[in-house]
Amino acid sequence: DGGITQSPKYLFRKEGQNVTLSCEQNLNHDAMYWYRQDPGQGLRLIYYSQIVNDFQKGDIAEGYSVSREKKESFPLTVTSAQKNPTAFYLCASGPSVREGVYEQYFGPGTRLTVT
């Protein structure tokens, strides 16, 4: 059963703590993405990776970090430097854009609450 999994669904942290959000896909997609969604807003790109061991900053990368050591996995760390970390985080994957296909498929999301 192919798809994208994100865990956990809900995450609670104290201010000042780093937290890592998991994203795994078994769709054999080269590209993976992290987005942040706030109420009433569209999706804003945090980081993306087109290939293993390579990733680029998106529009709002400050306070976040990622790694791409395996094709299937693209974890996102929300650091204590992120000023407003409470949000709904969405991971997506898709074919490499070098194939001329720009479709992205989303996971179920992780709702992070920092108090």
Partner 1 sequence: GQQLNQSPQSMFIQEGEDVSMNCTSSSIFNTWLWYKQDPGEGPVLLIALYKAGELTSNGRLTAQFGITRKDSFLNISASIPSDVGIYFCAGRGNSGYALNFGKGTSLLVTP
Does position 99 bind partner 1 by CB under 8 A?
no
**Interatomic CA distance for residues 32 and 109, integer angstroms:** 14
Does position 11 bind partner 1 by CB under 8 A?
no
Question: What's the min distance (Å) between Cβ of 20 and partner 1?
Answer: 19
Does position 28 bind partner 1 by CB under 8 A?
no
Q: Closest by alpha carbon to 89, among 16, 15, 10?
A: 10
Does position 31 bind partner 1 by CB under 8 A?
yes
Does position 43 bind partner 1 by CB under 8 A?
yes
Q: Closest by alpha carbon to 89, among 2, 3, 1, 8?
A: 8
Q: Collect all residues with Cβ–Cβ distance below 8 Å to 100 and sequence separation of at least 6.
A: none
Q: Which residues bind partner 1 (CB under 8 A)?
A: 4, 6, 31, 40-45, 48, 50, 56, 58-59, 90, 92, 97, 102-109, 111
